[in-house]
């Protein structure tokens, strides 16, 4: 009996000890690598493979909940219920304000964590409710035909880098141990259309264009410790981007020392055999992707890895190594730690679309709006007798959102914003007047005659996500979301012509959209032209703030508006020659960096302590900015550098700095930039950064150096030549 009791006691103690001993992977006190390896050691091959897929199932025996890696937060938490909807990415970039973008992404990650906390509390684990966000899109908007260019920060690698880094830092937070959410740099790399061909297309790019244009923003985000990189659908220089040795191994892992995980674009692995024809089947495609560096499969191909192991296409050890990289992200997000472990576990739904976040959305929208023309009619008084609002996008919610959007119960259309801003006693009337992209069926037109009775007409034109965006989403696009016709829909131009005929009263055109478009006719017909982009939930209020002078417009174009597509190389050509302000010699409709103000800024002479510089020397260049207008306004001061003597086919101009400066009417302020040796470097044909001896021209001004900028009413830049020895 004593032996039995003793044995029972021993067994009881053993059971108690097991209950009290926490599994290594669940113990926050253990080193990260030890936890990751411990978890992997307890998984079967089939379970390992399932954890490499975006919709990873639960493993109940190990207390691993299901997790869906696919989440979006391009300009607010997307596809996940009520959230603050900020202006589309291209609009945020038009602010030229990376500090503002950091505040935006901090607000987004607050809301993301709050949504996640609420979902987990309910036991929900669905798509778009997680903490791994596939944003930002830092591809270069090299051609205005690309419908997804609206998702980017424009055409310039420096601007894209600054804005992208700020966005990543705000998303991921600054806790030394835990990620707030995980950001993702996409689409790696050399990816910007044609949208219809992306599953089979080979983008050919020289090593110079890669190093000078297509890769710098990705390197900047890797240096900022972005947690993930998404590889693109297309091929780059013959190899699929999700199996590209140069991109994923030579550059990303070996050269840049990237430590995070790589996720495939969705169903890009299927393209290996269906589009690119580089392998025969799913097993071969999956093995190739993992061996080349893909850790997470957005798609359904990776289950074939089990067969790939049996066929000796890949080893289980290689799968373990890939899974270890991926699981680190979930551990860094605190997903295997007790509730309350991270500083973000207490974020509650109160932060979602809070008053502060709505105020921030309005500020961003205000600063994103670009004034393209003003013959003096703006700002309007808000106490005129009668205003007439018309146009296909005046009451459109689609015109506020762009793509990859969230939803919100208080979307303020442009019509609503204008209506709320006029004084009591004034009248405002509205009729849409014309359809988005086709002629009116009914020939009876009350709108144009009614508009002529108004003291001012505000016509809201342009495009929406119905006409530009991603394949499958832009349901009115004949080209899978791309815009192969650069013109604004011609029915809108005809409508504006009827509004203008025999009408000498002010007509203000507000244009929505996410890409360059031919605005020549609108510029000619309207007294003032405002580009509002897709301005988000507070877009209507922000437009009203600018129209009625509550704020002065300060947005700048992050992309060149050519006069027509005839000025550009073929869409499928990925050479940068002839593209963007950096290499385009033709005179544009609107230059990069352009945007007018209610102030009138003048730049004093550019000064530096010495104009002879060594290659290893940083120096400061300064100018005096003066607002000679009658309204307090904010200017985006931009620094451009030209290597005058280079033989390396360097950019004509290159943005190297920008700062915002707010000045009262009549006020002046010194603005300075520190110029580093790296800012003087150019990329040669071998892809190497070199600093030439010779002359460099520096410009500090309101836009990229251009006679067109002055012609449109922009400021003359300050100029300075330095000699590098």
For the annotated catalytic residues, the residue numbers are: 265, 468
Strands (E), 284-439: 370-374, 386-390, 427-431
Q: Quick count: other Cβ atoms within 10 Å of Cβ 21? A: 9
DSSP state of 253: I
Do residues 431 and 394 lie in contact, with contact meaning Cβ atoms separated by under 8 Å? no
Contact present, 73 and 228 (Cβ < 8 Å): no
Positive or negative: CA dihedral 408, 409, 413, 416: negative
350-to-112, 119, 172, 175, 430 alpha-carbon distances in Å? 12, 14, 20, 22, 36
List CB contacts of 571: < 8 A, sequence separation 6 or more.
143, 145, 193, 194, 482, 484
Q: Which of 231, 243, 250, 294 is nearest to 273 (CA)?
A: 243
Q: What are phi and psi of 543, to 5 degrees?
A: -60, -45
- CB 99: neighbour CB atoms within 10 A? 10
| Percentages (nearest 5) of helix, strand, coil residues in the chain | 35, 20, 45
| Residue 403, SS3 per DSSP | coil
Contact (Cβ atoms closer than 8 angstroms) between residue 90 and residue 558? yes
Which residues pair with residue 696 across a beta bridge?
Answer: 643, 722
Contacts of 62 (CB under 8 A, 6+ apart): 23, 25, 39, 42, 43
Q: Could you identify the residue written with the tokens 């992200």?
A: 329
SS3 695: strand
Any bridge partners for residue 373, and if so which?
Answer: 529
Q: Strands 528-533, 507-512: parallel, antiparallel or unpaired by DSSP?
A: parallel
Cα radius of gyration rounded to whole Å, the chain:
28
Tell me how long the chain is: 725
SS3 of 502, please?
coil
Q: Which two tokens stand for residue 421?
A: 């801003």
Cα gap 462→437, rounded to integer Å: 9
Cis before 194 (ω within 30): yes
Count the neighbouring beta carbons within 10 Å of the beta carbon of residue 501: 10
The separation between the first and the last C-alpha atoms of the chain, rounded to the nearest angstrom, is 96
Query: DSSP secondary structure string, 150-170?
Result: GGS--S-HHHHHHHHHHHHHH
Nearest Cα neighbor of 547 from 488, 519, 506, 515 is 506
Residue 54 CB coordination number (10 Å): 22
């Amino acid at each position: 009996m004593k032996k039995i009791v003793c044995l029972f006691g021993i067994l009881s103690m053993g059971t108690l000890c097991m209950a009290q001993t926490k599994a290594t992977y669940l113990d926050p006190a253990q080193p990260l690598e030890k936890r990751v390896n411990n978890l992997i050691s307890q998984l079967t091959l089939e379970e390992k493979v399932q954890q490499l897929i975006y919709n990873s199932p639960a493993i109940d025996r190990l207390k691993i909940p299901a997790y869906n890696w696919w989440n979006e937060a391009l300009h607010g938490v997307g596809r996940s219920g009520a959230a603050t909807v900020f202006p589309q990415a291209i609009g945020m970039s038009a602010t030229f304000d990376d500090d503002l973008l950091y505040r935006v992404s901090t607000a987004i990650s607050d809301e993301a964590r709050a949504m996640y906390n609420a979902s987990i509390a309910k036991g929900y684990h669905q798509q778009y409710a997680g903490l791994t966000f596939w944003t930002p899109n830092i591809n270069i908007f090299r051609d205005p035909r690309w419908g997804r260019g609206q998702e980017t920060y424009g055409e310039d690698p420096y601007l894209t880098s600054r804005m992208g880094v700020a966005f990543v830092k705000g998303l991921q937070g600054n806790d030394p141990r835990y990620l707030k959410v995980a950001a993702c740099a996409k689409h790696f790399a050399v990816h910007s259309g044609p949208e219809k061909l992306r599953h089979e297309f080979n983008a050919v790019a020289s090593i110079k264009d890669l190093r000078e244009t297509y890769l710098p923003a990705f390197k900047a985000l890797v240096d900022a410790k972005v947690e993930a990189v998404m590889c693109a659908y297309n091929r780059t220089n013959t190899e699929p981007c999700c199996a590209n040795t140069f991109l994923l191994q030579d550059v990303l892992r070996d050269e840049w020392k990237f430590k995070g995980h790589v996720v495939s674009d969705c169903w890009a692995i299927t393209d290996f055999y269906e589009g690119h024809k580089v392998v025969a089947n799913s097993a071969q495609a999956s093995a190739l992707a993992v061996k080349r560096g893909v850790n997470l499969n957005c798609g359904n191909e990776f289950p074939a890895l089990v067969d790939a192991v049996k066929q000796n296409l890949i080893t289980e050890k290689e799968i373990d190594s890939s899974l270890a990289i991926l699981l680190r992200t979930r551990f860094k997000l605190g997903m295997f730690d007790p509730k309350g472990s991270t500083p973000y576990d207490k974020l509650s739904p109160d932060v979602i679309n809070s008053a502060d976040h709505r105020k921030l959305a309005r500020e961003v929208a205000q600063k994103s709006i670009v004034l393209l023309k003003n013959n003096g009619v703006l700002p309007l008084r808000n106490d005129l007798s009668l205003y007439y609002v018309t146009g296909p996008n005046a009451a459109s919610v689609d015109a506020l959102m762009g793509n990859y959007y969230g939803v919100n119960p208080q979307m303020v259309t442009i019509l609503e914003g204008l209506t709320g801003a006029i004084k009591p006693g004034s009248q405002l009337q509205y009729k849409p007047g014309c359809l988005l992209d086709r002629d009116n069926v009914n020939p009876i037109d009350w709108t144009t005659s009614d508009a002529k009775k108004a003291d001012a007409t505000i016509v809201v034109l342009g495009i929406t996500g119905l006409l530009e965006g991603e394949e499958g989403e832009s349901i009115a696009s004949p080209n899978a979301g791309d815009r192969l016709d650069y013109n604004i829909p011609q029915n809108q131009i005809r409508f504006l012509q009827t509004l203008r005929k025999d009408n000498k009263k002010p007509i203000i055109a507000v244009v929505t959209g996410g890409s360059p478009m031919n605005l020549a006719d609108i510029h000619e017909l309207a007294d003032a032209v405002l580009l509002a982009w897709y301005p988000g939930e507070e877009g209507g209020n922000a437009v009203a703030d600018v129209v009625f002078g509550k704020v002065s417009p300060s947005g700048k174009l992050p992309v060149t508006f050519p006069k027509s597509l005839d000025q550009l190389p073929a869409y499928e050509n990925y050479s940068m020659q002839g593209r963007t302000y950096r290499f385009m010699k033709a005179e544009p409709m609107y230059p990069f960096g352009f945007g007018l103000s209610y102030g009138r800024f003048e730049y004093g002479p550019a000064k530096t302590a010495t104009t002879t510089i060594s290659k290893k020397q940083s120096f400061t260049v300064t100018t005096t900015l003066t607002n000679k207008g009658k309204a307090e306004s904010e200017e985006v001061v931009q620094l451009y550098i030209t290597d005058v003597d280079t033989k390396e086919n360097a950019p004509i101009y290159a943005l190297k700095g920008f700062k915002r400066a707010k000045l009262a009417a009549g006020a002046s302020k010194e603005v300075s930039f520190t110029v580093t040796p790296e800012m003087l470097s150019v990329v040669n044909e071998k892809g190497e950064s070199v600093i030439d001896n010779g002359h460099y021209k520096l410009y500090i001004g309101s836009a990229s150096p251009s006679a067109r900028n002055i012609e449109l009413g922009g400021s003359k830049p300050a100029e300075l030549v330095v000699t590098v020895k």
